[in-house]
């Protein structure tokens, strides 16, 4: 069976990546990688669904055991991708969505060059700021930190493979764009390095 694609879908705070990835991961052939984090759950977030919410001590133990595919420290908390779960999903042939920030994305790219890196962005920085404020889940201090962080994150935009714009009320279009990217990636010659040989051998 063909293995699934590792899809890194990053986006600054307020980009709407949660909505887009939530919808995508409900589709056939896709699965969401549930990260571990030391940050506190936001209202409505469920342990084991949105994140595995764990203590700093447990997180550090997991890093030491080599249980994390990648991990990072973001705005004062640890975030990481559980390795075993990720590899199992890919082996099942499902496309795995890693909703991770840029440093984690760079680590994934180094470790798994076949991963596809997608940056989801609001149409403008002003729209991002508006969304973040209207979400109403963070304090002003956290909002300021996350907006400042966006400028740093976009320094690495050039390392990504694709950019998808999330226009207001257009999450469904983003889902379709990502599915189109996956379809194109499956036909990419870099994923079929032995195509010519295989073609003639099957005569």
Binding site for ligand 5GP (CB under 6 A): 13, 35, 39, 70, 72, 74, 79-81, 99-101, 104
Q: Minimum distance from CB of 154 to ligand 5GP (Å)?
A: 12
Evaluate whether 60 touches 80 at the Cβ level (below 8 Å).
no
Choice between 99 and 177, CB closer to ligand 5GP: 99
For residue 2, which of 73, 63, 76, 91 has the smallest C-alpha distance? 91
Q: How far is the CB of 133 from ligand 5GP (least distance, A)?
A: 15
Q: Residue 121 or 183: which CB sits closer to ligand 5GP?
A: 121
Distance CA 183, CA 59 (A): 35
For residue 106, give the nearest of 8, 191, 33 by alpha carbon: 8
Q: Nearer Cβ to ligand 5GP, position 9 or 202?
A: 9
**8 phi and psi, to 5 degrees?**
-95, 120
Q: Which residue's entry shows tokens 């084991």?
A: 48
Cβ at position 79, least distance to ligand 5GP in Å: 4
Tell me the residue nearest to ligand 5GP as measured from the CB: 104
* Minimum distance, C-beta of residue 75 to ligand 5GP, in the bound complex (Å): 7
Indicate the residue among 13 and 116 with the shorter CB distance to ligand 5GP.
Answer: 13
Rounded CA separation 183/178 (Å): 9
């Amino acid at each position: 069976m063909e293995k699934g694609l590792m899809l890194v879908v990053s986006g600054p705070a307020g980009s709407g990546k949660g909505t887009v990835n939530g919808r995508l991961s409900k589709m056939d052939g896709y699965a969401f990688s549930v990260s571990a984090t030391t940050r506190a759950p936001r209202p409505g977030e469920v342990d084991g669904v949105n994140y595995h919410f764990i203590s700093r001590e447990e997180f550090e133990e997991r890093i030491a055991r080599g249980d994390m595919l990648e991990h990072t420290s973001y705005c004062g908390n640890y975030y990481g991708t559980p390795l075993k779960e990720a590899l199992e999903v890919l082996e099942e042939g499902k496309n795995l969505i890693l909703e991770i920030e840029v440093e984690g994305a760079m680590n994934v790219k180094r470790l798994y060059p076949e991963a596809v890196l997608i940056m989801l962005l609001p149409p403008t920085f002003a729209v991002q700021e508006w969304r973040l404020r209207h979400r109403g889940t963070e304090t002003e201090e956290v909002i300021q930190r996350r907006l400042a962080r966006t400028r740093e994150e976009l320094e690495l935009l050039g390392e990504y493979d694709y950019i998808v714009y999330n226009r207001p009320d257009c999450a469904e279009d983003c889902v379709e764009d990502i599915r189109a990217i996956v379809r194109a990636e499956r036909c990419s010659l870099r994923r079929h390095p032995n195509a010519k040989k295989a073609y003639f051998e099957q005569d």
